[in-house]
Amino acid sequence: MSFIDQLQAVVSQVDGALACSIMGFDGIAVETHQVAHAGDLDLGTACVEFASILTQLKAAAEQLRAGTVSEVSINTDKVTAVMRPVSSEYFLVLALRPDGNFGKGRYALRIAAPKVRAEL
């Protein structure tokens, strides 16, 4: 299954999903599947910002002996983003409408992560 198929599979099963990406921690997207516009929000730029924050979180968690970061979610009044590292260099990010199915989104990323990891 190609990356784009895996991203489409995540987006198609989550109500309110806007986009799903495989991104490097350097902020560069490997592959993106976007289904809808998120108003005036630039999803691409948002993902780059999130990559930078996730990188800091990984470093902070390590320093704090808080273990490995398995998931980060950010809810704003315009978008919900769920991120899950898949390797030391890449992570999955799913953007949802604020009224989207957050629980299903977390589940879909958890299921997709090992499949994506296997192909990296």
Give bridge partners of residue 18 from the DSSP assignment: none
Dist. CA 13–CA 59, nearest whole Å:
32
- On whether the CB atoms of residues 49 and 21 are closer than 8 A, the answer is no
Single residue of 28, 36, 75, 89 touching its own copies by CB under 8 A: 75
Q: How far is the CB of 3 from its own copies (least distance, A)?
A: 24
Subset of residues 78 to 97 that bind its own copies, contact rule: CB under 8 A: 78-79
Q: What letter represents residue 71's amino acid?
A: E
Residue selected from 71, 104, 107, 115 as contacting its own copies according to rule CB under 8 A = 71
- Measure the CA–CA gap between 118 and 60, rounded to whole angstroms: 27
Query: In whole angstroms, how close is the CB of 1 to its own copies at the nearest point?
Result: 26
Q: How far is the CB of 99 from its own copies (least distance, A)?
A: 13
DSSP class of 84? E
Select 8 or 61, whichever has its Cβ closest to its own copies.
61
Our finding on whether 9 is near its own copies (CB under 8 A) is no
Of 18, 25, 73, nearest to 48 by C-alpha is: 25
**Residue ranges in 26-55 that form contacts with its own copies under rule CB under 8 A:** 40-42, 45-46, 49, 53
Q: For residues 51 and 3, give the distance between their C-alpha atoms in angstroms, rounded to a whole number.
A: 19
- Interacting residues toward its own copies by CB under 8 A: 40-42, 45-46, 49, 53, 56-57, 60-61, 63-79, 103
